[in-house]
Structure 1
Amino acid sequence: MKYALLFPGQGSQSVGMLAALGVPEIAQTFGEASDVLGWDLAKLVKEGPAEELNRTEKTQPALLAAGVAAWRHWKSLGLAAPAAMAGHSLGEYAALVAAGSLDFADALKLVELRGQLMQAAVPAGTGGMTAIVGMEDAAVDALCASCPDGVLEPANFNAPGQVVVAGEIRALDWLDANGKSKGARMVKRLAMSVPSHCSLMRGASDKLAEALAKIVVKTPSVPVPHNLDATSRSDADGIRAALAAQLYQPVRWTQTVQGLQAQGITHLFECGPGKVLVGLNKRIADGLTSIALEDPAGLAQAAQLVRG
């Protein structure tokens, strides 16, 4: 059997995340991250408050650490290695750490900076994100292009009929008023103050590229398809460029999962908190088994499948 490990992105965080696993790698990894960052990430994850954990510059290193912690425990089980790894948005950094491409400490500092740059790129209250349900990808492209005022662009192609768009508030307000009449079954504003993965993040991307240029990037031990184009890369410059471009280009998750299935991968294990990717994967392709590793039951089920 061939399986891939998938790492979730922003939105999967919660106070107390992964505590149900009850394994030593969780506390150890959160403690290590606290030392690297110079603030108590472990306490924030364990105790909250949720409002602080949900601040983008705090969320990103916390979720990275959670994904790496889950991966470290999975690796300790002595199972066969995955055929590939991938991550949704921020999760791509955890995938690259797990694949040996990025050093954990470097990645923590990068994603903390990434969060700060994203928050600073667009003044609070002037940008956001909205989920559109019930429209094909091409129709969402056309809908965004028809917006008469302000930036409105596809940001996450999450599953067939489920696309998230990002842009300026006035454009999102227009979408709220006109989306259903133009074919959407549902239009739902998300609790996101940062319009991720759209052209409003271009300046943040340029600054992130400067930081990426200063860190060591190695060839991943297994393929890691990038959100940018669902294509894996082995050269350092290519990986750096893909991570920088990811900030202002849409996440192509549907294409990523379909690509993994085309490679003969039959099982997808969500390595980190939550079950967001499990839900998306079930909408993307039939014949794939998706399991979340966030609790003992899911972990045991996945491990048994790998052992055969």
Structure 2
Amino acid sequence: MVKQLQSLAFVFPGQGSQQPGMLKAAYEAFPIVQETFAVASKALDKDLWAFTQAENESELNQTMNTQPVLLTAGVALWRVWQAQKGPIPTFLAGHSLGEYTALVCANAMSLEDAVKLVTYRGELMQEAVPAGQGAMAAIIGMDDASELEAVCQEAEQGEVVSCANFNAIGQTVLAGTVKAVERACALAKERGAKKAIALPVSVPSHCALMKGAADKLKEALGNIRISSPTIPVIQNVDVEIHQHPDDIRERLVNQLYRPVRWVETVQRLVNEGTQQVVECGPGKVLVGLIKRIDPLIKPLNIELPNDMEATLLLLNS
């Protein structure tokens, strides 16, 4: 019988973790990865695996492709973990898009429904703001989030800019219109930020510019079957656990235009007794963020077969 590990949580990454060649070793080592990509590809009638291995990154980085690819990758690795009799975590969480992956892994929605939904979500996000009008920027070294929120209010000047991702202490991402984000970056540096780095994205996620997209997503979510999660999922927008399908839907809608509260999510996990966090997906973006939020947690990633084996050995011992 597979044991549940009270001190264990699994987390799932969002956009930015994709990279050409991702999951290649796992795909070759574990047939269940191949099967998972085949199911998701059939649901969308397009070859998701081909996007992950193409030398040209442009198609992989298109939001409507990135989202189903990353979701499928996280679900595939989760299914490998289950097949290998890995301990069941007490909590799941995901960063932005990763929240959908967490809900699939918690049996709250099917993989087929989820990949269709996040593909549509990506299309809505891409259509919400004309190319060249939206921007995102990472502010590094400004530890006081309330001070950065005040900077955004001062920089708005009738436009939109706000904190979109509270990723780690001293690392917050802003989103909004190009000029407003530029003003906020300049003000942040005047107020002591070490760096303000423009991000190479065309979609200003998790800000008021996504409200129209969220209204359309709400309608699509109403047509998706959602069940109560079998493993508690901490949702981004309010750092709470919800069981009722309507409550889950509401948070997924709000998530599109409200900030990702990742710092608080990790702190909630710690307060719930979590001592070990496994990032289930390509790359180690969340591993890096978690180390900065709480150095006492030693997060792991299981993308590579060797890492999967080592983590299984560690947590089953």
Report the TM-score range of the alignment, normalised by the length of the smaller protein.
over 0.9
* 2:21 corresponds to 1:25: no
Structure 1 residue runs of 5 or longer lacking an equivalent are: none
* 2:145 corresponds to 1:137: yes
Which residue number in structure 2 is paired with residue 299 of structure 1? Answer: 308
**What is the CA deviation profile of residues 106-129 of structure 1, one whole-angstrom value per residue up to 9, with x for unaligned ones?**
100100000000000000000010
Whole-angstrom distance in 1 between the partners of 2:174 and 2:156: 15
* 2:73 corresponds to 1:66: yes
**What is the CA deviation profile of residues 180-226 of structure 1, one whole-angstrom value per residue up to 9, with x for unaligned ones?**
11221110000111000001000100100100011111010111000
**What is the CA deviation profile of residues 213-249 of structure 1, one whole-angstrom value per residue up to 9, with x for unaligned ones?**
1111101011100000110100000000000100000
2:151–2:187 Cα contact (<8 Å) kept: no
Equivalent position SS for 1:216 = coil
TM-score for both structures, normalised by structure 1:
0.97
TM-score for both structures, normalised by structure 2:
0.95
Deviation at 1:48, TM superposition (A): 4.5
Counterpart of 2:293 (choices 280, 284, 293) is: 284
Alpha-carbon distance change, 303 to 123 in structure 1, aligned in 2, over 3 angstroms: same
Whole-angstrom distance in 2 between the partners of 1:53 and 1:165: 23
Which residue number in structure 1 is paired with residue 265 of structure 2? Answer: 256
**What is the CA deviation profile of residues 37-65 of structure 1, one whole-angstrom value per residue up to 9, with x for unaligned ones?**
01111212222421010000010001011
Whole-angstrom distance in 2 between the partners of 1:177 and 1:80: 47
Deviation at 1:29, TM superposition (A): 1.4
2:52–2:69 Cα contact (<8 Å) kept: yes
Which residue number in structure 1 is paired with residue 217 of structure 2? Answer: 208
Equivalent position SS for 1:167 = strand
Which residue number in structure 2 is paired with residue 154 of structure 1? Answer: 163
Which residue number in structure 2 is paired with residue 86 of structure 1? Answer: 93
- Root-mean-square deviation (Å): 1.1
Structure 2 residue runs of 5 or longer lacking an equivalent are: none
Amino acid at match of 1:39: K
Counterpart of 1:270 (choices 270, 279, 290) is: 279
Whole-angstrom distance in 1 between the partners of 2:227 and 2:165: 27
**What is the CA deviation profile of residues 87-134 of structure 1, one whole-angstrom value per residue up to 9, with x for unaligned ones?**
000000000000000111110010000000000000000001000011
Counterpart of 2:208 (choices 199, 204, 208) is: 199
Whole-angstrom distance in 1 between the partners of 2:258 and 2:185: 23
Percent identity between matched residues is 47
Whole-angstrom distance in 2 between the partners of 1:124 and 1:175: 20
